[in-house]
Structures are given as C-alpha cells and as structure tokens.
Amino acid sequence: MSSSRNNPGDRTLTVEKVRFFSLETAIADARYEIKGSLGSPDRKMWSTFVVWRDHGLWKIAAIRNMLPSPPR
C-alpha cells in the first residue's frame, strides 16, 4: 500500500506465462505497467507471483516486481 501511495497512477497487470509445479502451486509472470499521473512517466516492469490454492481459491504467497534490464 505504501508503494502505491508513493507511485500514483493506474496499474495494469497482464499475465504472460503460468508455470504449475503441482495442482496446488504455481508461478505467474506478468507485465506490470503504471500509467503516470500528473506528468510522471509510465513505468513498465515485470512481476512474478508465487501462488498456491487454498480450499479452491488461489492466494498469493509472494510478489516480485522488477524493471527490465536494458539490452546489451
């Protein structure tokens, strides 16, 4: 919540890939974009979610957001 307050803007997550380790656990990779507000530039990042199924509902165990590295 603190990060969202410090980086205002509309957020969009687009899941690119899901890898299942079992019927109950998976990792999801997503494009994460924050549309800039008040003149701030857009931020385009990657997010990775570690998820597990608990009584039929998927829950997030961990999230990692990162900026893509520049091409070499």
- Detail the DSSP E strand segments found in 1-72: 10-20, 25-35, 43-54, 57-66
What structural domains does the chain harbor? 2-66 (3.10.450.50)
pLDDT at residue 7, as a whole number = 64
Kindly report the pTM of this predicted structure: 0.76
Contact criterion met (CB below 8 Å) for 31 and 16: yes
Q: Tell me how far apart the alpha carbons of residues 21 and 7 are, in angstroms, rounded to a whole number.
A: 33
pLDDT in tens, the chain (72 residues): 556 666 667 899 999 999 999 999 999 999 999 887 777 788 899 999 999 999 999 999 999 999 877 777
